[in-house]
Structure 1
Amino acid sequence: MLLVGHGTVLTLGEPNRVITDGAVLIDGTVIKEVGLTGELRSRFPEASFIDARGKLIMPGLINSHMHLYSTFARGMDAKSKPPKSFTDILQGLWWKLDKLLTLEDVYYSALVPLIECVKTGTTTIIDHHASPMAVRGSLDRLAQAARETGVRSAFCYEVSERDGERIAQEGIAENTDFISACQKAPDSMTAGLFGLHASLTLSDRILAQCREAAAALGAGFHIHVAEGREDVEDSLAKSGLRVVERLHKFGILGAKTIAAHCVHVNEREIEILRESATQVVHNPESNMGNAVGAAPVLRMLAAGVRVGLGTDGYTADMFESAKVANLLQKHAAADPSVAWAEVPDMLYGNNPKIAGQLFGGRYGELSPGAKADLIIVDYLPPTPLTGENWSGHLLFGVSGRAVETTVTDGKVRMLRRELQGIDEERINARARELAQKLWQRI
């Protein structure tokens, strides 16, 4: 057993509690008890003990839309003209990068941000992958990297017709094989979804084929939805339907499906998302960086759509994503009073529900029976921290780099900023070598 104590415990979940000099007792992969440090230490003297030294103990964070493969774009010259549209960004950057990835590139470009997840307190991610010239086996390499770093991860391969029929069929097979393998040997650390790129790179024929393949497995989809206006225009031209309407027609939406972005959706589409129980993930930094607009997050939440929070590969730091989401919604609404409750609900309420559907179990809370994912944050509150004002403390007082200890599935992955069993220096050195070779291939 492992006891993490002598800290301010923020349990989150229901009921949310703040426990001064609190402790969390972990038994195997789940939380056994939460209470006062002195009491738990006296009752469980045999437990290994981590002293939080008065700092904040809270649940690990969840990223509901990530792109691990984007790592090698950091500092890269794509040899493209400055983008003027979202299409320019796709064609001039991402569709240049992903075509050049080898399976070794996939592995190392995943290890780096997974380490950053550990270092910034993200214990679970839902990833969306593309490597068109190295499709087969790519999800296994991602899962290998996740196992080695200890980050709970769900993976999918984005099926797309932009690289032709053969690559599209390889993507379907990669999703099918990976999901099947996860189902045959289930564990709470790895899961599979059926990946689709976006409506604008998928024909009716391939959408129908993917629907049949996923239905045979009982799997949900992970797809970009109405991220840019181009997606809407393409869908209308193809089908006379907007993106959400088209995907709904083909049976892509539903309670197991993650629709990333949903920037350009109207009221009817929001109602379809609600009726189908489709889960939406907002990615504020990416939307701002790509200049595609601000997703109508507040309207979706008010309508009863479950909206989570992701980063789209822009960062591994979910504290950062929450800060930007708060600002973006205020800016878009021209109203400083909004997003105070909605953004915490997305990150600390809805993301754990999305993870629970995928992996089974309870996440995002420190309570008996919940999965043993927790972090110690180097934050000593300068004002009273209570069960009512905790989100303001996290918003204005905490960033990912304040995380000093990370525990996932009951195992210590980082202790007082020292990674456990992970050779970060060696991994980064090899990543630099591979990135340089990839850049030379552009």
Structure 2
Amino acid sequence: MLLIGNGRLLTLAPDNPFQEEGAVAIEGDRIVAVGPTAELQQRYPEAEWLDARGMVIMPGMTNTHMHLYSTFARGMALKDAPPANFLEILQRLWWRLDKALTLEDVYYSALIPLVDCIKSGTTTILDHHASPRAVRGSLEMIARAARETGVRTCLAYEVSDRDGEAIMREGIEENMAAIKKYRGQEGLLTATFGLHASFTLSDATLAACREAAAEVGSGFHIHVAEGIQDVEDALEREGKRVVERLYDHGILGPETIAAHCVHVTEREIAILKETGTLVVHNPESNMGNAVGCAPVGDMLAAGVTVGLGTDGYTSDMFESLKTANVLRKLVSGDPNAGWTEVPAMVFENNRRILARFFPHPLGRLEPGAYADVILVDYHAPTPLTAANWFGHLLFGFNGGLVDTTIIGGKVLMRERRLLHLDEAAIAARAQELAVKVWERF
């Protein structure tokens, strides 16, 4: 048993989100008690003691749309003219990079951002992977990296028609194998069925994926109306917008994640609500790709569950949270926007989304929840209370202040030091592989 105490407790539980002083008792991979330090020390005298030394004790941050495979794009120069729009970004960068990856590349491109997750306090991710020249075994490489780092991960392979039918079929098989192996387990890993996007999926492929997913009782993880090109393609194919097309093909539902949803109409928002489809907002990526901004306010007002992710742009969810806040203000023209929507996305809706994939609660410090806990070395310069904790988190917290990261009851980082990983050795090997990836690119 592990007892973490002598800190300021940000439980994020709705009835008591903040306590001036407290402790968390952990047994196995779950929290068994939360309360005053002295009380829990008396109740669990034999527990291993971890002194928070006045730091903030809070749940690990979560990321509901991530691309681990994007790692080797860091610092890479394109060999032709800079992309002028979103489709060219895909064609000239991402669809060339993913085809250059080997299975070892997949493994190391996962290790690097998973280490970054630990260092920035992100303890759970829902990944979305592609490596068309190394499909078979790719999700197992990511699973290996997740086990070795200890970061809670949901696997998915993005099926697409863009590389031909044989590779499309391999993608279906890769999803099926991962779902059968990891779905329903109580450990760090689970899986869902990945799809790329409507504009790279034919009617026949959507039907094949729907049939395969039904066999294992899975929903989907898919990009939806991220760029306007996705909308134009759907209209040209069937005279319908993206959400309408996916609805008609049986892709939407309460187990499906629709990432982005930048270009959606009021009617499409109603469909997302009616089907219970889960949406993930990725503000930094949408800004970086210049695709626009999702109508987050409209979706939340309609009752759609909208979570927060990064689309691979960063591993630091504190960074994504800040960006989501200022983007809401900019787009709405309202300086008061973001104060309720952003914490709802990252702390409430991410928790709801993750509940579809993992058997125990995440995102709160409460008995029965997974023991995913971080200590943030933040010493408030003004009063920190149950009423204003989000203002402190928004303007005072960042991933670099995370002192300790615990996932599933295992201490992975203490005093900013990784306890089970050689970060320098991982980075050195990744650099060697990156040179070869860039040459193949």
TM-score tier after normalising by the smaller chain length: over 0.9
Matched residue count: 441
Matches within 5 A, 1:36-435: 36-183=36-183, 186-435=185-434
Could you tell me how far 1:102 is from its partner in structure 2?
0.1
Could you tell me how far 1:78 is from its partner in structure 2?
2.3
User: Is the partner of 1:379 in helix, strand or coil?
Assistant: coil
User: Is the partner of 1:79 in helix, strand or coil?
Assistant: coil
1:30 correspondence with 2:30:
yes
Deviations 1:61-107 (A, max 9, x none): 11000000000000001213111100110011101100000000000
Amino acid at match of 2:83: P
CA distance in 2, matches of 1:301, 1:13: 20
Is residue 195–residue 221 contact of structure 1 (8 Å, CA) maintained in 2?
A: yes
CA distance in 1, matches of 2:17, 2:226: 37
CA distance in 2, matches of 1:5, 1:22: 6
Is residue 188–residue 360 contact of structure 1 (8 Å, CA) maintained in 2?
A: no
CA distance in 1, matches of 2:87, 2:80: 12
Could you tell me how far 1:41 is from its partner in structure 2?
1.5
Aligned-residue identity in percent: 62
CA distance in 2, matches of 1:188, 1:267: 39
CA distance in 2, matches of 1:388, 1:351: 21
Deviations 1:157-211 (A, max 9, x none): 000011111110110111111111114x722311111000000000000001100
Structure 2: which 5+ runs fail to align? none
Runs of 4+ in 1 over 2 A off after TM superposition: none
CA distance in 2, matches of 1:369, 1:307: 24
Deviations 1:225-256 (A, max 9, x none): 00000000000000111000000000000000
CA distance in 2, matches of 1:326, 1:17: 20
Amino acid at match of 2:171: G
Could you tell me how far 1:111 is from its partner in structure 2?
0.2
CA distance in 2, matches of 1:426, 1:14: 42
Could you tell me how far 1:43 is from its partner in structure 2?
2.5
Is residue 279–residue 307 contact of structure 2 (8 Å, CA) maintained in 1?
A: yes
1:9 aligns to what? Answer: 9
Is residue 13–residue 349 contact of structure 1 (8 Å, CA) maintained in 2?
A: no
TM-score (structure 2 length as normaliser): 0.99
Could you tell me how far 1:385 is from its partner in structure 2?
1.2
CA distance in 2, matches of 1:188, 1:330: 39
Amino acid at match of 1:195: G
Could you tell me how far 1:14 is from its partner in structure 2?
2.7
Is residue 65–residue 312 contact of structure 1 (8 Å, CA) maintained in 2?
A: yes
TM-score (structure 1 length as normaliser): 0.99
Amino acid at match of 2:173: A
Amino acid at match of 2:19: I
